[in-house]
Each structure stands twice: as C-alpha cells, then as structure tokens.
Chain A
C-alpha cells in the first residue's frame, strides 16, 4: 500500500506512510466497533431465542436490527457520572486502557494471507501478552471507583485472568510447535487445503487441546460462565458498577473486541485461518499467482472465511453464556488449576511425542509433517523470508526501520 501510494499516486514519502497507517488503524477500529454493534444485537436476539422470547423486534424493522444504534444513542445521551470518592484520573483512564489493549492485539492479527496490520515474527506471543493487559483497565476501574463491589469484581478478574493465562499459553504453544513459528500468517498458511489439514485434526492431542483453549479463551475474556468479575447477582455489576454512558460502552467494546480476537485466534491456530473446510479458491482454479483479479478474489474469499469462523466463535460464546450457569469462584479456580492446566500439559507432551513418533502423520498425505517449511533464514539467504517483500508494514515502527 505504501509503495502504491508512493509510486502510483505520487504521495510524498511521509504522507504515504501516514495514510497507510491511518487506513489500517481505522479498518481495525471498524472491525471492533462495527463488530460490537452487530454482536450486541446478535446477543440480544440469541438470548431472547434461548429464553423463549423474541428479543428486539421493533427498532428498525422486523428483526430489530437497529437496536444497537438506539442503544448507542441512549449511551451517548446518558449522564456521565463519577462517584465523589473516586480517583478522577484513574477512573477516566480505565476504559481507554482496556480498549487500547484490546485494539493493540488486533495489530498483528491476520485477516487473510498478508492482510495484516503488522506482520510480526512473534505474533502469537504478542497477542497473548497484550491480551493480558486488558485486565489492567479493569483493575484500575475497580480500584478507582471507590466502591467495594467494584474492587471485589476487579480482584476476582485479576485472579482469574492471571491463572487462566497459564493453560491458555500452553494451548497456544501447541500450534506454534507444529508450525515451527510464531508468525500467525505462516501458521495459517501451513494448514492450507481441506479441513483435515487443520491443526484441530492434526492428531488426537490437538483435538483435545482445542477444547481446553476454548474454555480458557472464554474465561480469559470474562464471558459467562466465567464472568465472576461482573456477577450481577452478588456484585451489582462488578468492576463497572459506577460507570455509565460512553465510558461504560468502552468496556463493552473492549469485551466484544476481545471475544472476536480470541475467536479469530482459535481460527488461525486450530481451524486453518482463511483456509476453509473446502478449498473453494483452489478448486475454482484461483491462486495467488494467476493474475491481479484472482489475487484479490483469493484474499477476499480468505477474509470472508476467517471473519465467518471468528463470528461463529463469538456466537458459540453467546450460546454458552445463555446456556450454562455461572461458576463459583472456587469452581473457576479448580477448573483452571485442576483440569485445564494438567490436561493442557499432558496434551502438549502428547502432541510433542506424536511429532517425534509419527513425524509424517498417521496416514500419509492426510496430515502434513510439521516443520517442513521453517523460516527462510534456515534455508539460506535466498529463502522464503528473504524473498517475502516488506509489505503490509503499516506501523510507525516499521516506517522507522526502513527509513535510514
């Protein structure tokens, strides 16, 4: 994009970089904000259907699809309250900290082949690290509200997120081990083809660990049945008890953003990313090299594929939320420490042994051997990484790296 702006549109160098960076940032922001609008409506509809109601039906026609917009206007018009005893700076800052952490993690999330804000060599690690920061906003909110309910909610959230990071990390390591890289684009690309080349079906251990990942992901984004931080039956609304209006909606956007993020990450790590259950593009004879139109079409299909999978993941989370009762805090902790962590550890060891014992897969051709394509520098200077052009680097940091 930078090269296009610079070479074709004759933009000055600095403006080309800035425009490219702004466009990427705005696109990601739209994924979060627009996604939140759609998901809030979907949540209301799904909750309604599961509870044998209709959900919103009036605002904006038959299906109430303008409900989120009406909600948004209501939130904008709400009075912005701050408790008397609150720590003003931290109270105001907390929602933005939460939201920024959620937003930052999207920077290196690939949406299709090379459709990624910033292709990082350590993307998986980066996402896990940044996702853990979201809880900081929650803790600040709970502390600064000067309310016991908020503080209890924040403490629960901190304990929960810190404990669930351990099994979550173990789950994430397995696809990284199979792919031999932490680059999410490469991980997804290595699962290309039919659905049996997904890491979900790579071996029995990855199949089990996927479900551990699902549990931990739901817990780490604080969705029911793990939403102890905002348990309304005991803590009013937990950490956001004292928030209203737009500030409150930032917490919500962060939550829906994180839900989408962990779902997209599940798709990339275990479900082939943009490589569908059926390789439609390949069957139709389209591939990266067959010309410009085909090139864009392939990426568009991939984009739709990944967004579809991630949306499906979010819908499953809603289904879980309205189906299962909330766990008690001790049950949350024993789920993490007594079940998720040992299972994840055993499955990790199992997947490792499987790699050693059956490096070619159980049946030849069905399962690709891992580590066949390492990063380019291992194959010498003319390798894959060296050949890959420095594209899709729309982040200021990358600007600085290229500019002398």
Chain B
C-alpha cells in the first residue's frame, strides 16, 4: 500500500545504530574498571541486542533477551557484586599482561567468527526482507508437543509429531542438577555436634537454661555445657 520511496535504507540505519551500541557497550564493559559501571554497559549492550532482535521481527526472542539477559545481569549485579564488595566503589584493575593476552585471544576469536560468518554463502547476499507474521504461538505450541508450523514434507513421521517437549525437559532437568550441585558446593560446612537447642529440648531443662540455649547458635557450646550440668 505504501510505495517504497525511502531514499535511505532505514533497516540498515537502525541495524547499524543498535549494532554500534551493542559493540560499544561490549568494549566499554572490558575497558571500564568499576564493576557497577561494567554492569551498566553490559545491560546497554544486551539491550541493544534485544533491539536487533526486535528489528529482525523476532519479538519473542527480543523480549526473552530483555527478560533473561538484562534481568539476569541485574541479579548478577546485586547478588554477585554488591554482596561481595568490600570497598564502597569496587574497582578491578587489569594488569598490562592480562590486557595484552585478552586482546590477542579476543581478536583471534573475532577473526574466527568473522571468517566463519562470511564463509556461509547464503549470508553474503542481502536478505529478501520478506517477513511472515511473527508469532510466538508456534514456539509455545511446539513446547507442549504440537507442531503447528509445517515440518518439511519428507520428514519422518516422528519428527512431525514431536515437539520441543523432550529437549525442553532434558535442559530443565540438567539445570536442576546444576542448581542442586551449586547449592551443595555453596552450603555452609557444619560440624556434627548437636545444637544446644536440641540438647536442651531433649533433656527438658529448667526454663532459664532453655532461654539461654535459645539465644543462638553462637552461644551453643556454653549452653550445652550448662545443660549437661543441669542434667
């Protein structure tokens, strides 16, 4: 309905804008030496990536990016950085050697990715700009095991019927295992001595001793001695 009169390829303009913000933010994350500023630049970079997804018409992925990565950075910032901070403004100084090493590794990886990206024949041609109606429903339906998108005609019958339920379950169980493992590793190491309050409860001590025992775990040893004496 609307004729194509745009002198400028606005898609490219917005793409370059978001890409510049994403890349600039990523570089700033590395260059900054304040942890909270790093988190800010990281959020900026990830947010611009979400913008790229929206630009590509992948609204669901874009919103996911905002929810998981940008929101996740937030949690990372709060619980990972601020709780471990000793000084009011945490700063991380990178030594020159580390910096040089990181530059070499980073540039190597960058070169590898660029070469790999350019080697794909289909990615070198400009896209056709023909987008179907973007919808999150096919993903959701496929997650519960109903493929509403058309699988290739020559696909085996099992592939037509199967959704993403099994991979999803495998991934979630995997994450659960990781979570349990992390909780196991991070748990406080406790000694096997019975807590004073348990000793006190089993011996039915006089009220004063029970109150003393209930003061806390730190006073446990003294309280247990007291309880033992009263028994």
A: residues with CB less than 8 A from B are 2-3, 6, 12-14, 17, 85, 87, 89-90, 93, 120-122, 125-126, 128-130, 132-133, 135-136, 139-140, 143-144, 146, 151, 155, 158-159, 162, 165, 180-182, 374-378, 385-386, 389, 396-397, 399-404
Q: How far is the CB of B78 from chain A (nearest CB, A)?
A: 4
Does B7 reach chain A (CB closer than 8 Å)?
yes
Pairwise interchain contact B133-A377, C-beta atoms closer than 8 A: yes
User: Given that A90-B36, A401-B11 are contacting pairs, would A13 and B63 also be in contact in the complex, using a CB cutoff of 8 Å?
Assistant: no
Most buried by A among B5, B34, B51, B54: B54
User: Given that A121-B134, A139-B78, A403-B10 are contacting pairs, would A2 and B63 also be in contact in the complex, using a CB cutoff of 8 Å?
Assistant: no
Partner of B34, one of A87, A385, A397: A87
Partner of A386, one of B37, B55, B70, B133: B133
Pairwise interchain contact A397-B9, C-beta atoms closer than 8 A: no
Pairwise interchain contact A403-B60, C-beta atoms closer than 8 A: no
Does B131 reach chain A (CB closer than 8 Å)?
yes
Number of interface residues of B (CB under 8 A): 47
User: Considering only CB atoms, which chain A residue lies closest to B89 in the complex?
Assistant: A87
Pairwise interchain contact A130-B135, C-beta atoms closer than 8 A: no
Pairwise interchain contact B57-A143, C-beta atoms closer than 8 A: no
Can you list 23 pairs linking A and B with CB atoms under 8 Å apart?
A6-B2, A13-B5, A14-B10, A121-B59, A122-B63, A125-B64, A126-B59, A126-B63, A129-B66, A136-B43, A136-B70, A143-B36, A158-B75, A181-B137, A375-B133, A375-B137, A377-B135, A396-B10, A399-B14, A400-B14, A401-B57, A402-B2, A403-B4
Besides A14-B7, A139-B77, 10 new A-B residue pairs in contact (Cβ under 8 A), listed by A number = A87-B89, A121-B136, A126-B59, A129-B70, A133-B66, A151-B82, A375-B133, A377-B137, A389-B1, A396-B14
Pairwise interchain contact A133-B71, C-beta atoms closer than 8 A: yes
Main secondary structure of the interface of B (DSSP, over half): helix
| B64: chain A residues within 8 A (beta carbon) | 125, 129
B 81-104 to A, binary, CB cutoff 8 A, 1 in contact else 0: 010000011000000000000000
CA distance A112 to B132 in the complex (A): 26
CA distance A276 to B70 in the complex (A): 37
Q: How far is the CB of A75 from chain B (nearest CB, A)?
A: 26
CA distance A333 to B89 in the complex (A): 28
| A400: chain B residues within 8 A (beta carbon) | 10-11, 13-15, 55
Pairwise interchain contact A155-B78, C-beta atoms closer than 8 A: yes
Pairwise interchain contact A143-B82, C-beta atoms closer than 8 A: yes
CA distance A25 to B193 in the complex (A): 65
Pairwise interchain contact A128-B10, C-beta atoms closer than 8 A: no
Main secondary structure of the interface of A (DSSP, over half): helix
CA distance A3 to B43 in the complex (A): 36
Q: How far is the CB of B33 from chain A (nearest CB, A)?
A: 12
Does B160 reach chain A (CB closer than 8 Å)?
no
Pairwise interchain contact A385-B133, C-beta atoms closer than 8 A: yes
CA distance A399 to B148 in the complex (A): 29
User: Considering only CB atoms, which chain A residue lies closest to B133 in the complex?
Assistant: A385
Pairwise interchain contact B70-A133, C-beta atoms closer than 8 A: yes
B 27-42 to A, binary, CB cutoff 8 A, 1 in contact else 0: 0000000101100100
Does B6 reach chain A (CB closer than 8 Å)?
yes
B 105-137 to A, binary, CB cutoff 8 A, 1 in contact else 0: 000000000000000000000000101111111
Most buried by B among A135, A140, A143, A386: A143
| B131: chain A residues within 8 A (beta carbon) | 401
Partner of A129, one of B67, B82, B133: B67
CA distance A129 to B59 in the complex (A): 12
| A378: chain B residues within 8 A (beta carbon) | 137, 148
CA distance A126 to B5 in the complex (A): 32
Pairwise interchain contact A375-B66, C-beta atoms closer than 8 A: no
| A402: chain B residues within 8 A (beta carbon) | 2
| B43: chain A residues within 8 A (beta carbon) | 136
User: Considering only CB atoms, which chain B residue lies closest to A378 in the complex?
Assistant: B148
User: Considering only CB atoms, which chain A residue lies closest to B3 in the complex?
Assistant: A13
| A375: chain B residues within 8 A (beta carbon) | 133, 135, 137
| B15: chain A residues within 8 A (beta carbon) | 400
| A132: chain B residues within 8 A (beta carbon) | 67, 71, 74
Pairwise interchain contact B10-A399, C-beta atoms closer than 8 A: yes
CA distance A243 to B57 in the complex (A): 39
Q: How far is the CB of A147 from chain B (nearest CB, A)?
A: 10
| B4: chain A residues within 8 A (beta carbon) | 13, 403-404
Pairwise interchain contact B70-A12, C-beta atoms closer than 8 A: no
Partner of A139, one of B54, B74, B136: B74
Does B153 reach chain A (CB closer than 8 Å)?
no
User: Considering only CB atoms, which chain B residue lies closest to A143 in the complex?
Assistant: B36
Pairwise interchain contact B6-A13, C-beta atoms closer than 8 A: yes
User: Considering only CB atoms, which chain A residue lies closest to B8 in the complex?
Assistant: A14
CA distance A277 to B10 in the complex (A): 44
User: Considering only CB atoms, which chain B residue lies closest to A147 in the complex?
Assistant: B88
- Closest CB pairs A-B (n = 9): A400-B11, A129-B67, A129-B66, A13-B5, A158-B78, A126-B63, A125-B63, A400-B10, A403-B6
CA distance A90 to B88 in the complex (A): 14
| B11: chain A residues within 8 A (beta carbon) | 400-401, 403
Pairwise interchain contact B136-A122, C-beta atoms closer than 8 A: yes
Pairwise interchain contact B6-A129, C-beta atoms closer than 8 A: no
Partner of A397, one of B14, B36, B40, B77: B14
Q: How far is the CB of A19 from chain B (nearest CB, A)?
A: 14
